[in-house]
Structure 1
Amino acid sequence: MNWELLDKQTTYIVGVSGGVDSMALLDMLVEKQYQVVACHVNYHFRQDSDIDQKNVVDYCHAHCVDCHVYEANPDDFGKENFQHQARAVRYHFYETIGTNYQTDKVILGHHYDDVLENIVMQQQRGNCYNYQGIRSKTKIFGLEVIRPLLDTKKESLYAYCKKRNVTYHEDYTNFQTHFTRDKIRNEVIPQLTKEQKETIMLQATILNQDILKKEAQIAPYYQQFKENEIIDYTQIETELLPVFLYAILKDVIHPPKISKTLIDEIIKQIQSEKPNIEVKVSVNVLFIKEYNNISILAKNQQLDYCLKYDKIVYAREEMFFLEAIGHIDEGVCIEESDFPITIRNAQPGDRMITSGGTKRLSRLFIDRKIPKKMRRIWPVVVRNDGTIILVPRIAKNINYLYTKPNVYVVKLDH
């Protein structure tokens, strides 16, 4: 147990399944008189899951530990990956209970064997640009998750429970091979020699030292990307690019799906001479390169908007401001005959009569090197007959070019 990760002045939520790992963990914490609250989730997917629940509740009652149980309804789970859904249910429960105890600290019983399983899984999937194994501290759904048993082997936990007479209940599904992790646990790991296991762990340690160093180096770029949702990738050193791409992708894609092959393909695409590229990285997510800028677009970010005005107003909308003063390139003179006017995002096929002739908005955006992600939400001012009269900062209808503006459409930088 890595006690240095813990503080006796802090209250911790402890995830307790009833198995040997979490029961040993709970007993160690109770024995050392840490402030703990036990949380158990009964998914009711196994016929013997009530035994787990009773085991946890009985222990907590005997040792005067606050215990909270969430009994899930199997019918509430969809056909998607059960493990992912169960994980979300678990952490939401931890968050709810943690709020009641004014803590966001969660302790889990992952151990040495779990780390080894994770490393082997990552190697099989080709995940080599992220931390190998399991981190001792992570942030998940806003909770600080602490794992103090990562250097402890499972056989030691069995021995501990036997010595301390701590009751636990084995989940029989852990011995099946339906899921990749179970297959690795029951078929791959047992075939490894002690020396092979030590080699795998040593190689992961060396790789992780490099990963942690690079994560620290990309931190400013990652923060910039989070704030602006776009970044000029050429400012990032080439050797840091794979780790940076992994960092921004894992915010929108389940990490196990981010393989070396995917990262390498993205790098190949963005370093090509093509100015605009879209790479479909999952069903709902696009990776976008526009000139030197890269961004990520999820389906729920493809926002359409359309606002109608019967008179001049000065207001603050989500995508733009309507102001009484501003830059000439953002202003237009709207007369009574123009109303009602509409301000909306650009649409395919939009054209505008400019001083240089009729132009497609798509061409105007390209000429100004406007990133595609920004084009999707750029405001377009349209008069009542459908004529586009202003695209702020980009172009103005020739018939409105020489009149003094009475309203300025200030585009917001998202």
Structure 2
Amino acid sequence: MLIEPFKQLITRIDEQIHQKKILLAVSGGVDSMVLLALFTGLPDECRPNIEVVHVNHHLRQESNEEEKFVKEYCHQLGVICHCKEWLECHHPLNNLEAAARDMRYAFFAKIAKEQNCDYVVTAHHGDDQAETILMRLVKGSQFRNLGGIQTVTHRANGLTVCRPLLIFSKEMIYEFAKAQNIPYREDQTNQITTYTRNRYRLQVIPNLKQENPNLLEHIQNFSRQIGYANEVIESVIEPLLADIVISKKVTCWQLDVTKLLRESEAVRYFILVEIMQQALVEKGVSINERQLSAVLSLLTAQKGQGVIQLSAGWVFKKRYASAFLMIASDTSDSNERVSEPYQLSVGENLFLSDKEWVTLVSAGETVIFPEKCQGWQRWELAVSSDSQKYPLMITRRQPGDKMIYNAQGQRKKIKRVLIDQKVPKEDREKIWVVRDAQQEISGIIPIKKSYLSIITETDKIHYRLIYLKGES
């Protein structure tokens, strides 16, 4: 029987469950109807306050009848039932299943918040778990996602989802429904093998159970082991991320390549997996092992620059000591190029943005400025001709950046320099700094020059960096 192990699991999930309010997702199928029966059948000392939520997807002719069935059954039990209709006119042309799932959980979150529910409870069971893990394994999912469905998950929108039937097989659920005379509706589309999950459910899983009747138990053990491994990996990776990720925005993450390459290959791999998970996967952008391997190869390659095309318009770009995970279109938007580094050698010039131009020339050389730049404000910086310091890099300032400010070689944080120069806080992240190949900062454009750039202090300075800026 399911009752006793279900009771034990529920109280293990939350010892105070009897003081909580839960929202049960009930479709009318055998799984959710058994879930409803198990909760309503709990003794008072561990039975929570129960409400039901049902979504009519209007995907089948039986949808309206199932909604009516769930409403009437809840009325008989004296349980409040919240229903939503997803009309056919709102169905997307593509990715219908994903859109339906997103719509459902958005509705669950809305009702849970309105009714002050502590948990949303769904009827996922052991066979669902096996299907999910095997499908992900065959598809080539990342290691962290092979754990499948978790008993309790906390969503970003504050929703806590609980799945207490994962410890039971579909067969056990059917047997319980029959023994307890629990009514339910059967979705005939579950028998259609054109759907991938149905093929696993009807063909793959039964064959594997014949190979080993303990399949579901082993799948649950595997899921738990993956969960433990993920906890260990996360405990190692999270502190490193804070040091390696220089900045992150919705469409652009900047990484410190030098620090990333100090780690072992295994640690680098899982750092990138976590970054991809946060930046891409959680937004619905997939990343495969081939793409991840290409990124790892680019990072360790001798060449200082390169780009890997990912998915949905995202790219991974290496620029010497920095790397960028970003939307490719952002490279043409001057407002979004706040962290992109630029390489500059003698005789070269480039536009940092639509209103900023820079060149590097020999001392005394006549400079021909672009016609567009006529009348723009000018700022110059003297730089050394020492070949070991080239190419120069023009980047946004990074946390902890310092520059030499006196003959004793003492350093001052760029942040403090900007404060001393009374640069508004909102403008500080837009400041450019000039750094050489040895990462020494020679100037803050167009704010401050390093002591190293003072011509009278050294005879090795032969080049001029000229910066022009137009009115915004």
Length-normalised TM-score, structure 1: 0.72
**Change over 3 Å in CA distance of 1:290–1:58 after alignment to 2:** farther
Confirm whether residue 138 of structure 1 aligns to residue 153 of structure 2.
yes
Alignment match of 2:239 (pick from 213, 220, 231): 220
Which residue identity lines up with residue 281 of structure 2 in the other structure?
Answer: I
Unaligned residue ranges in structure 2 (runs of 5+): 1-5, 249-253, 340-350, 371-389, 399-428, 433-443, 450-463
- Over 3 Å counting, the alpha-carbon distance change for 1:218 and 1:284 in structure 2 is same
2:316 maps to what in 1? 287
Distance, in Å, in 2 between the alignment partners of 1:34 and 1:241 is: 45
Query: Does 2:264 correspond to 1:264?
Result: no
Aligned to 2:203: 187
CA distance in 1, matches of 2:74, 2:467: 78
Contact 1:112 1:151 in 2 (8 A): yes
The structural deviation recorded for 1:16 is 1.5
What is the alpha-carbon distance in structure 1 between the residues aligned to residue 89 and residue 100 of structure 2?
Answer: 13
Distance 2:68 2:109 in 1: 23
Q: Is the 8 A contact 1:177 1:183 kept in 2?
A: yes
1:177-207: CA deviations, max 9, x gaps?
2222222112211221252725555555444
Partner of 2:62: 48
State the one-letter code of the partner of 2:149. I
Question: Is it true that 1:276 corresponds to 2:305 in the alignment?
Answer: yes
Matches within 5 A, 1:346-385: 346-347=352-353, 351-352=357-358, 367-368=392-393, 370=395, 378=430
Once residues 289 and 255 of structure 2 are traced to their aligned partners in structure 1, the CA distance between those partners, rounded to angstroms, is 22
**Which deviates the most, 174-183 or 199-208?**
199-208
Task: Provide, for residues 75-107 of structure 1, a one-character-per-residue CA deviation record: whole Å limited to 9, x for no partner.
Answer: 212222111101110111011111212246321
2:136 is paired with a residue of what secondary structure?
helix
Task: Give the direction of change, closer, same or farther, for the CA distance of 1:398–1:115 in structure 2 (3 Å limit).
Answer: closer
The amino acid across from 2:314 in the alignment is: V
User: CA 1:49 to 1:272, structure 2 compared with 1: closer, same or farther past 3 Å?
Assistant: same
| 1:234 and 2:240 are equivalent in the alignment | no
AA matched with 1:35: N
Q: Based on CA coordinates, which of the two structures has the bigger radius of gyration?
A: 2
How far the C-alpha of 1:379 sits from its partner, in A, is 6.5
State the match for 1:253 in structure 2.
281
SS at structure 1 position matched to 2:212: helix
CA shift for structure 1 position 145: 1.5
* Rounded Cα–Cα distance in structure 2 between residues aligned with 1:353 and 1:392: 14
RMSD of aligned C-alpha atoms?
3.9
Which residue number corresponds to residue 32 of structure 2? 22
Q: Does 1:34 align with 2:48?
A: yes
Q: How far apart are the structure 1 equivalents of 2:198 and 2:467?
A: 70
List runs of 5+ in structure 1 lacking aligned partners: 307-318, 321-344, 381-389, 402-408, 410-414
Q: 1:77 aligns with which of 91, 98, 103?
A: 91
What residue is the counterpart of 2:179 in the other structure? 163
CA deviation vs aligned residue, 1:244-283 (integer Å, no higher than 9, x gap): 3333323323679433333333222222223333322212
Q: Does 1:107 align with 2:121?
A: yes
2:104 maps to what in 1? 90
How far apart, in 1, do the equivalents of 2:397 and 2:66 lie? Answer: 53
Q: Given the alignment of the two structures, is residue 122 of structure 1 paired with residue 149 of structure 2, yes or no? A: no
Instruction: Report the AA paired with residue 121 of structure 1.
Output: M
Q: Report what 2:406 is aligned to.
A: none
Length, aligned pairs only: 352
- 1:269 match: secondary structure: helix
SS at match of 1:22: helix
- What one-letter code is carried by the residue in structure 2 that aligns with 1:269? L
In structure 1, what residue type is equivalent to 2:358? M
Distance 2:242 2:41 in 1: 41
Selected match of 1:147 from 146, 155, 163: 163
Given residue 266 of structure 1, which amino acid in structure 2 is its aligned partner? Answer: V
Farther-moved stretch of structure 1 (66-75 vs 156-165): 156-165
CA contact (8 A) 2:261 2:268 kept: no
2:34–2:173 CA contact under 8 A, matched in 1: yes
Distance change in 2, residues 1:305/1:281 (3 Å): closer
CA distance in 1, matches of 2:19, 2:224: 31
Question: SS state of the match for residue 278, structure 1?
Answer: strand
Deviation at 1:291, TM superposition (A): 3.3
How far the C-alpha of 1:299 sits from its partner, in A, is 6.0
Cα displacement (A) at 1:226? 7.9
> Aligned with 1:168: secondary structure?
coil
Distance in structure 2 (CA, Å) of the matches to 1:394 and 1:263: 40
- 1: CA distance between counterparts of 2:183 and 2:310? 46
Amino acid at match of 1:352: V
Moved more, 202-211 or 281-290: 202-211
Amino acid at match of 1:138: T
The answer to whether the 8 A contact 1:368-1:394 is kept is: no
Q: Does the 8 Å contact 2:396/2:430 carry over to 1?
A: no
Please tell me the residue identity of whatever aligns with 1:263.
L
Q: Structure 1's 58 and 239: CA in aligned 2 closer, same or farther, altered over 3 A?
A: same
- Pick from 165, 175, 186 the counterpart of residue 191 of structure 2: 175
